[in-house]
Structure 1
Amino acid sequence: MLLVPVIDLMHGQVVRAVRGERSTYRPIVSRLAAGSDPLTLARALLERCSARQLYVADLDALLGGAPQTAVLRTLLADQPGLELWLDAGFATPAQAQRLRDELGADGARVVPVFGSESLQSAAGLPADAILSLDRRGAERLDPAGCWDAPQHWPRRVIVMTLERVGADSGPDLDTLAAVQRRAGDRWLIGAGGIRHAEDLQRAAAAGAGAWLVASALHDGRIDGSMADHRS
């Protein structure tokens, strides 16, 4: 299973995401590196996981502000082989393409993540896109009905259970299984809840092709030894 490290960016700093309650996020405290500088922590996370993918949640953009393009440029320039999975609150494919264009040649290495909480329609997503099916508890964050439109899902789909993020409560494998029953041959990526190596093993056995991880890496509870770096 692929292990994809995550950084949550807010006002130019990496913050610790907990349960999707964005107003409570604070600058990260990590065993991997001192401070909350995005470049320093991205390097540490990628090394810890031996990864070439990095998931970035641009919380400024998700909350209605401008994308943090300067930080994104720095990350891409520092890591020439990096594939950057970016959730910046994209409502349409055109919005994502504008940001990729702003990033110049390096924008080709940005994979847009379209969250169901933000998306206007699941139809017509780019072939290289990732769709994130977002939920908090029993509530689907899905004004456009993406959860119920599997015919429009791209090849890669994230199952995002926000109340599990940073909560040390274990992965939501029931929701993963429910999505898998409708996903056909799509590649499923879990998000939230990983605490230790046993959770990763359970997630892989449940059919996850990858999992997004932050807190367990920062706290030193897992590393990249279980990762399969084929995507």
Structure 2
Amino acid sequence: MFPEFEVVPAVDMQDGQVVQLVGGERGTGKTYGDPVEAAQRWVDAGARTLHLVDLDGAFEGERQNADAIDAVLDAVGADVDVQLGGGIRTVEDAVSLLDRGVDRVILGTAAIENPDIVEAISAEHPGSVLVSLDAKDGEVVVAGWTEGTGLDPARAAQRYAELGAGGILFTDVDVEGQLEGVRTEPVRNVVEAVDIPVVASGGVATIDDVLELADTGAAAVVVGSALYQGAFTLEAAADAVEEHR
């Protein structure tokens, strides 16, 4: 998983369309068209990994955009890694997605409510679980970022690493989707707490933000709004990362 730092485009789906939310709140998003077209655009631009999220699934607790996700998987093929989250609540659902061709499943609410699910899925597909720790005001939140848990992100990351998680997806909800820059300290705290890859997300507005996150020791960064709004191109970000190594 991520042999070197990587910029990962997000394809967040709501009602079968690509959407970028602000702070994870419903009704704040901009729509960017067909998921397959978006995915193909990023693959053509050099993406090695795609980050797919079923936003309806995250809010409703069960997957809602299965057809769109299947279409993306068929379109990009096996040469591109796909990590998928949103509404995955059971071992059976996760395993079926991994058998279908998803490379990593992202578990948020399910992992918080039932930590053993991480161990169970990992037993069948080692390294395939990316535990999503979304932090708001320094606290892990779940259910589409609407419910607090009282958990500290770094301590929670340690717990899931012990349970066999292949990596941690850390999202800084306080800056997510706002295109106002990143906060490196929360990311670094999680990176330093575990020996598994940490994927950072939230707030990226410039290529400098990407490089700052690379310097935290994160394995990758998920970028959504900045790419869709043309703040920079995926190619330019990848070139900057290569020069920064």
Fold shared per TM-score above 0.5: yes
Relative CO higher for 1 or 2, CA cutoff 8 Å, sep ≥ 6? 1
Cα deviation for residue 148 of structure 1 reads: 5.8
Q: Is the deviation greater in 61-70 or in 9-18?
A: 61-70
Letter in 1 for 2:169: I
**TM superposition score normalised by structure 1:** 0.83
Q: Which residue of 2 aligns with 1:141?
A: 141
Question: Which of 229, 237, 240 is 1:219 aligned to?
Answer: 229
Q: 2 CA distance for matches of 1:144 and 1:78?
A: 40
CA distance in 1, matches of 2:237, 2:59: 34
Task: Return the alpha-carbon distance in structure 2 between the equivalents of residues 46 and 54 of structure 1.
Answer: 8
CA distance in 2: counterparts of 1:52 and 1:144, whole angstroms: 35
- Counterpart of 1:171 in 2: which secondary structure? coil
Amino acid in the other structure paired with 2:170: V
TM-score (norm 2): 0.78
Aligned counterparts of 1:200 and 1:129: Cα–Cα separation in 2: 24
Query: Residues 199 and 217 (structure 1 numbering): CA distance in 2 closer, same or farther, change over 3 Å?
Result: same
Q: Segments of 4+ in structure 1 off by > 6 A?
A: none
Choose from 80, 93, 100 the match for 1:95.
93
The aligned counterpart of 1:60 is 56
Structure 2 residue runs of 5 or longer lacking an equivalent are 143-148
Closer, same or farther: CA 66–190 of 1 in aligned 2, 3 Å: closer
1:28-75 deviations in Å (ceiling 9; x for gaps): 3xxxxxxx1111111112223x11211011012112254322111111
Alpha-carbon distance in structure 1 between the residues aligned to 2:164 and 2:204: 25
The one-letter amino acid of 2:225's match is: S
Q: Is the 8 A contact 2:63 2:87 kept in 1?
A: no
Taking the TM superposition and a 5 Å limit, the aligned residue runs for 1:138-177 are 138-141=138-141, 143=149, 146-147=156-157, 149=159, 150-152=161-163, 154-177=165-188
Q: Does 1:207 align with 2:217?
A: yes
- The Cα shift of 1:100 comes to 4.5
Whether 1:194 and 2:194 are equivalent positions in the alignment is no
In structure 1, C-alpha distance between the alignment counterparts of 2:150 and 2:115, rounded to whole Å: 7
Q: What is the DSSP-based 3-state SS (H/G/I as helix, E as strand, rest coil) of the residue aligned with 1:166?
A: coil
Q: Which residue of 2 aligns with 1:51?
A: 47
Deviations 1:143-198 (A, max 9, x none): 49544624225231111112222111212211111112211x21111001111111
TM superposition shift of 1:203? 1.0
**Mean CA deviation greater in 194-203 or 61-70:** 61-70
Q: Secondary structure at the match of 2:22?
A: coil
User: 2:16: which partner in 1?
Assistant: 12
CA RMSD across the alignment: 2.3
Q: Specify whether residues 68 and 132 from structure 1 end up closer, same or farther in structure 2 by C-alpha distance, changes over 3 A only.
A: same
Looking at structure 2, the residues matched to 92 and 182 of structure 1 have their Cα atoms a distance apart, in angstroms, of 27
Quote how far apart the aligned CAs of 1:97 are. Answer: 1.9
How many angstroms apart in 2 are the aligned matches of 1:163 and 1:179? 16
The aligned amino acid for 1:167 is: Q
Aligned to 2:31: 27
Deviation at 1:221, TM superposition (A): 2.0
Residues 217 and 19 of structure 1: CA distance in aligned 2, closer, same or farther (over 3 Å): same
What does residue 146 of structure 2 align with?
A: none
Any conservation in 1 of the 2:39–2:76 contact (CA below 8 Å)?
no
Task: State the identity %.
Answer: 23
Q: Is the 8 A contact 1:9 1:57 kept in 2?
A: yes
Deviations 1:1-27 (A, max 9, x none): 200000110010111221111243242
